[in-house]
Amino acid sequence: MQVLKNIWSQLHRFVFWAIISTIFWAWIFTLITDAPQAKKVTVYVLTDSCENRALEEALEPARPEGIRMVRVHPFSYVLFDTEDALNADLYVIPGSQADDFLDSFTPIDGETLDTGDRELFVRNGQTYGVKIRDGAAGEGAASAYLGYSPGEDYYLFFNVSSPHLGSGDGAALRIAEALLRLN
Amino acid sequence: MDTICEMYRPEDLLRLEKKIKRERAWVWGLAGVTLALCVLFCCLTDLRSVEWTEPAALICSCVGGWLVIYRRLFGLRETRFELDHAARQAETPRSSLTGTLKVTGERMRIKNSIRFRVLLLDDGERVRRLKVNETRVKKLLPFDGKRVTVLLADGYVAGIGGKDAGT
């Protein structure tokens, strides 16, 4: 009883410590598990669900030299870090919403990207994206990790400001190819 | 005047000093173990394990920190207050008052000092309010309701003395 009384009398100190601990360890673990934009390839996916940790691991073998990590975030993550979403390298977005974001995507006509026989997303005579999932056939890449909406086509796009395209180290292109190859 | 009941004897001061060392060792030990565990969780962290290492480090840090705060506030600090109080009593000249002692249930605390219990001393003309360290009250209980000569130092009861003490 005396212990509870003592704790109650100094509750503000215990609460303050819990808050400080939470902020401090969140910061430390972000430092450990994150990398600057130049050292990572970030993929944002706008799907119904996303096994992002598992997908990151599946893409890990395709990680080029000089890149420390591949991060995959569902779009809900934008709530926590808008800047991260704006600086992402790749986006997986439903075809029905792609035109809304077209200004953020870069044409990939000149890029050395192996798309196989996949359908391309073409606007104004330029290729912006690669179909990653065919809604009609119900088949798509990385289906084990991404929960696509039934009947919806999905495309893979590249951020216009990504430093990992052909003019940079090309890491985003290699990760994109690996993503398109996943089952 | 003979003192028949001292609140603090010289060995009490030594005991308090030892207790402070023990409490300090506890606090530093707990802090060290907590930090070591958190560092261990950091070392174990990768993209997969972060899902459990981060909450584990947070829980460890919170619980360890709370224990350190508790031991420091209610172990180390209280003992230090008591040692300071005992040392002041030993250094301060004493005065005496005679009357009938009553131990009340009224507890008080001065900021950054010991908790004390209020005593009433009725000398026949007026009732005086005296203080005694809360941890020493049990030494005065045998004299509750009896006529005693109280030795005061630094405003607190330092002992019971006098020829008619306890009669």
Q: CB neighbours of B35 closer than 8 A, spacing ≥ 6?
A: B64
For B95, other C-beta atoms within 10 Å of its C-beta total: 10
Q: pTM for this structure?
A: 0.68
- Picking from A21, A26, A29, the nearest residue to B65 by CB comes out as A21
How do the pLDDT tens digits run along chain A, 183 residues long?
A: 778 888 888 899 999 999 999 999 999 998 898 888 899 999 999 999 999 989 998 999 999 988 988 999 998 766 666 777 888 999 999 999 999 989 999 998 877 888 888 999 999 899 999 999 999 999 999 999 999 999 999 999 999 999 999 878 889 999 999 999 998
Q: CB neighbours of B104 closer than 8 A, spacing ≥ 6?
A: B117, B118, B119, B120
ipTM of this predicted complex? 0.73
Tell me which residues of chain A have a C-beta less than 8 Å from any C-beta of chain B.
Answer: 6-7, 10, 13-14, 17-18, 21-22, 24-26, 28-29, 32-33, 53, 56-57, 60, 69
- Residue B68: closest C-alpha in chain A: A14
At B78, the amino acid letter reads: E
At A174, the amino acid letter reads: R
B42 touches chain A (CB under 8 A): yes
Alpha-carbon gap: A156 to the closest alpha carbon of chain B (Å): 24
> Angle, nearest 10°, between helix axes B50-71 and A11-33?
150
